[in-house]
Amino acid sequence: MKIVVCIKQVPDTKGGVKFNPDGTLDRAAMLAIMNPDDKAGLEAALRIKDEMGAEVTVLTMGLPKADDVLREAMAMGADKAILVTDRVLGGADTWATSSTIAGALRNIDYDLVITGRQAIDGDTAQVGPQIAEHLNLPVISYAEELKIDGDSVIVKRQYEDRYHELKVKMPCLVTALSELNVPRYMTPGGIFDAYDEKEVTVWGRNDLKDLDDANIGLNGSPTKIAKASDKVRKGAGEKVTLDATESVAYIMGKLKEKHVI
């Protein structure tokens, strides 16, 4: 069985947030970790590998330093790693990112693609399902549990107040929640192997298949960032004491004023 896990190196906000002039993140200047939802997805793949045998490939689109997060994945037990990196791919929004990753996946033979539900920097939860659409794969998102059943996958899909149990035939894509599992630690031997025995394959723009230039990088991104900042200090705010009816009128007035309704 062949599984591809898409992972992302995200800023560890412990080190502070830094921005480029165009509002995108200055990733090179920030401390970085593997996105937690993605790590859970990787752990799910590794458990399948432990139980029934599988080849686990990790794939990331990022800066050259995203090599670190691929090594971490291999130190946990992933077999292969692919880094998709190219200047022209930078500044991508979810559309451009998913188009790019789909371009990479078209080169790979897989039964199952796992992505994290969402990244802690973008928080959109769009990329996983978008990749599936680009590749015409069925997608189940918000996986709380994941099992292999012959040629299918059975997923417990989380909703706020309930869950659905869905079965889908492979090849398919699943997005993982960090609640899916508690990821294993790397082992010291795994780390040594990741750096000494295993290799990271690097792909540039030209290695990606069926991908239009109009759909990549900052220029290929329909989302335009108007403004981005670190945590904004909120002022003390306005405090008003009114009775119940007056309070409702007051709140409604304020919501209309701010174009919320």
Partner 1 sequence: MEFSLDKKHEMARTLFKDFAETEVKPLAQEVDETEAFPAETVAKMAKAGFLGIPVPKEYGGQGCDPLTYVMCVEELSKVCGTTGVIVSAHTSLCIDPIMTYGNEEQKKKYVTPLAKGEKLGAFALTEPGAGTDAQGCQTKAVLEGDEWVLNGSKCFITNGKVADVYIVIAITSVTEDKRGRKKKNFSAFIVEKGAPGFSFGTKEKKMGIRGSSTYELIFEDCRIPKDALLGPEGKGFPIAMHTLDGGRIGIASQALGLAEGALERAIEYTKERKQFGRSIAQQQNTQFKLADMAARIDAAKFLVYRAAVAKATQRVYSVEAAKAKLFAAETAMAVTTEVVQLFGGYGYIREYDVERMMRDAKITEIYEGTSEVQRMVISGALLK
| Interacting residues toward partner 1 by CB under 8 A | 68, 71-72, 75, 184-192, 194-196
How far apart are CB 76 and partner 1 at their closest, in Å? Answer: 10
Cα distance between residue 245 and residue 251, in whole Å: 10
How far apart are CB 117 and partner 1 at their closest, in Å? Answer: 23
Collapsing DSSP to helix, strand or coil, 24 comes out as coil
Cα distance between residue 222 and residue 241, in whole Å: 44
How far apart are CB 131 and partner 1 at their closest, in Å? Answer: 28
How far apart are CB 189 and partner 1 at their closest, in Å? Answer: 3
Q: Which is nearer to partner 1, 195 or 250 (CB)?
A: 195
How far apart are CB 54 and partner 1 at their closest, in Å? Answer: 21
Q: Which is nearer to partner 1, 63 or 125 (CB)?
A: 63
Residue listed under structure tokens 């689109």: 61
How far apart are CB 103 and partner 1 at their closest, in Å? Answer: 28
Collapsing DSSP to helix, strand or coil, 151 comes out as coil
Cα distance between residue 154 and residue 171, in whole Å: 13
How far apart are CB 192 and partner 1 at their closest, in Å? Answer: 5
Cβ contact 81:195 at 8 Å: no
Q: Which is nearer to partner 1, 43 or 72 (CB)?
A: 72
Q: Which is nearer to partner 1, 40 or 127 (CB)?
A: 40
Q: Which is nearer to partner 1, 67 or 144 (CB)?
A: 67
- Phi/psi at 76 (5° precision): -85, -20
Q: Which is nearer to partner 1, 85 or 100 (CB)?
A: 85
How far apart are CB 55 and partner 1 at their closest, in Å? Answer: 21
Q: Residues 44-63, buried b or exposed e (16+ Cβ, 10 A)?
A: bbbbbbeeeebbbbbbbbbb
Contacts of 84 by beta carbon, 8 Å cutoff, 6+ apart:
59, 60, 61, 62, 100, 101, 104, 203, 204, 207, 208
**Residues counted in the chain:** 261
Cα distance between residue 141 and residue 156, in whole Å: 9
Cα distance between residue 31 and residue 17, in whole Å: 9
Collapsing DSSP to helix, strand or coil, 17 comes out as coil
Q: Which is nearer to partner 1, 8 or 157 (CB)?
A: 8
Q: Which is nearer to partner 1, 131 or 200 (CB)?
A: 200
